[in-house]
Chains A and B, each alone.
Chain A
Amino acid sequence: MMKDDDCRPRDRALGGRAWVFGDNIDTDTLAPGLYMKRPVEEIAEHCLEAVDPRFAKEVRAGDVVVGGENFGIGSSREQAVAALKHLGVAAIVAKSFAGLFFRNCLNLGLAALTMRDTARIRPGDRVTVDPQTGRVDDLTTGARYAAEPIPPHLAEMIRDGGLLAHLEKKLKAGRA
């Protein structure tokens, strides 16, 4: 029973409580311009405060951000991703992502998965996400979802911990 993979989320799955947001969450909301000069720790304190002032204060390591359409629209600022990572967000699951933000997530090693039926996940549900298979479990409701897995050519980079760590590994191998 215990080895039946379908009955429980896998060990490598990330998870925590769900924070649910609507469509078009933009990078100015994630990393407000007012604080962009400051270090990421400080930007993170204001992450999403325009739509949910509780978020930055109460989010815990492992929590999952659930978004609607076009999550991360706006600027190229990586601090939008870095702030979420700093706060401990383990993964973002959204109906769709802005392309630039999506690239930034993967480059920084934050799992971003696209999934159509995010609307059924409720705020505070306990959720686990497996980036490699795209499996998403809502442990509170017992529902299971299939998100698009991370594209294979990027999986290695994510496994390495993002683009920098990946390049570091490659450069080292090249020099060796």
Chain B
Amino acid sequence: MGATLAQKIIARAAGRREARVGDIVTCRVDLAMMHDSGGPRRIAPMLQRLGAEVWDPSRVVVVSDHYAPAVDPDSAAILDLTRKWVKNAGVARFHDMQGICHVILPERGYLRPGMFAVGGDSHSPTAGAFACFMFGVGATEMAGVLVTGEIWIKVPETHLVRWRGRLHRGLSAKDMMLALCREMGLGAVGYNVVQYAGEAVRALAMSERMVLANMAAELGAQTALIEPDEVTLAALAEAGVEAPDALDWRGDVDATYANMWEFDAGALAPQVAAPHSPANARSVGEYAGVAIDQAYIGACTGAKLSDLHMAREVLERRKVASSTRLLVAPASTRITAEAAADGTLTALTAAGAILLPTGCGACAGLGAGLLAAKEVCISSTARNFRGRMGAATAEVYLASPYTVAASAIAGRITDPREMLG
């Protein structure tokens, strides 16, 4: 019987001929990523207690993004501790305030199809867009990986999610994903793998495929995967990654899937998820007219160059409504530079957008752009759990960068297609 892509990667990492669903196996870790919040500040005391060192610093990536840049002495101390630990541990692949971890990994060429990786962050499945099996772990489990270079895993099932058709203008991967949160529900696939396929997925750029992989976390999946194709190869080449075997990393034709889900991208309207769950997604019309205090374009999910381009399409030659504010926090410094070079930042700021530093910022309730009690925000981020972006009574709606930008112009939730002509 054939194997899924997930089974093949796990078998390889476990040094086995096959990995049967439900088997508990121990895998060698190709890459371990952690950030300033769950990383050194939490694992340093654990390694100290164990009297152990990092098994292989060349396989470790550390990114300071959650508390960057520092906003108070506490966050400054966390960043300082992170810098010192990295130096001591001999970790060369350290990115200090240069971007959000899940965006840094592919941008700096750290991902290769077929990799088995762990990340100290729940959106680690993002790497699945590049056919890496990467899942999130807590700090203690990360400490275990750093000491042993290994981790146990129960071989998961794979849910195949096929998108046929083509997205219409003004729609994006975020709309596909919010629709999935509603249709599939949070937790319906269990702690398994979601593999995205179909014509509509193939048509997406890598930065858009990353949104699908990223928000598999919201579905409760252990991780996500997308089989590599020419689009993947081009992105790898651009990042300077040599991966001659990239196209070999795919499931067998006779692989067994737990379930097949079918969706039609062509039938999709822009989606908006109401507070306080991504599963509250509906067509934008259902929430049109809701007045907003803040519009936020940020996070690993929603502030890549392609996201800024979507916002630009809507914002060009328009102005943000005086009743609201539009905050933009690009997902990496490289993206900021690219958006500056191609005129995107000029277009956004001319429309009245306020440019924030790169980093997790308000997405995790840590940086600039937090919400006051009862304020309403529409955001391109992945999560709208109660209290995540500030006050517990704040209300966060999730949407695509198109919809967030259009809502910023109107001062209320708006269908971006009205502004795209």
Contact = CB atoms under 8 A, between A and B. Distances in A.
A and B co-occur in one complex: yes
Interface of A: 24, 26-29, 32-34, 36-38, 49-51, 69-70, 73-78, 81, 96, 98-100, 102-104, 107-108, 151, 153, 162-164, 167-168, 171
B161 interface: no
A33 B388 contact: yes
B366 A163 contact: no
B275 to A, nearest CB: 12
Contacts, number: 131
B310 to A, nearest CB: 26
Given A70-B220, A100-B222, 5 more contacts: A29-B387, A76-B119, A168-B49, A171-B50, A171-B52
B78 interface: yes
B375 interface: no
B50 A168 contact: yes
Contacts of B388: 28, 33
Contacts of A36: 37, 364-366
B138 A29 contact: no
A34 B387 contact: yes
A27 B383 CA distance: 11
Nearest to B392: A50
A36 B72 CA distance: 13
B42 A78 contact: yes
Interface stretch (B140-148, B351-359, B399-407): B140-148
B191 interface: yes
A77 B364 CA distance: 11
Contacts of A38: 74
Contacts of A98: 187, 191, 220
Contacts of B74: 37-38
Interface in B97-144: 119-122, 124, 135-141, 143-144
6 contacts: A28-B386, A29-B386, A73-B218, A100-B191, A103-B141, A107-B138
Interface of B: 24, 37-38, 42, 46, 49-52, 67, 72, 74-75, 78, 119-122, 124, 135-141, 143-144, 147-148, 152, 186-187, 190-191, 218, 220, 222, 277, 364-366, 383, 385-390, 392
A107 B140 contact: yes
Contacts of A99: 190-191, 220, 222
A70 B392 contact: no
A100 B385 contact: no
A77 B322 CA distance: 37
B122 A75 contact: yes
Closest 4 CB pairs of A and B: A99-B191, A33-B365, A70-B187, A78-B138
Nearest to B38: A76
Given A164-B143, A171-B52, A100 B138 contact: yes
B51 A78 contact: no
Contacts of B365: 28, 32-34, 36
Nearest to B120: A76
Contacts of A24: 186-187, 277
Contacts of A29: 385-387
A108 B387 CA distance: 25
A161 to B, nearest CB: 11
Contacts of A49: 392
Contacts of B385: 26, 28-29, 74
Given A98-B187, A164-B50, A28 B138 contact: no
Nearest to A81: B138
Contacts of A69: 187
A81 B42 CA distance: 14
Contacts of B277: 24
Contacts of A27: 122
Nearest to A78: B138
A162 B141 CA distance: 10
A104 B141 contact: yes
Contacts of B138: 76-78, 81, 100, 103-104, 107-108
A108 B137 contact: no
Contacts of B220: 70, 73, 98-99
B191 A78 contact: no
Given A70-B220, A76-B122, A167-B147, A103 B387 contact: no
A176 to B, nearest CB: 14
Given A28-B385, A50-B387, A103 B137 contact: yes
B147 A100 contact: no
Given A36-B37, A104-B138, A70 B186 contact: yes
A28 B78 CA distance: 20
Nearest to A166: B144
Contacts of A51: 386
A141 B53 CA distance: 51
Contact of A28 (B137, B186, B218, B387): B387
Nearest to B136: A76
Contacts of A26: 385-386
Contacts of A33: 364-366, 387-389
Nearest to A24: B186
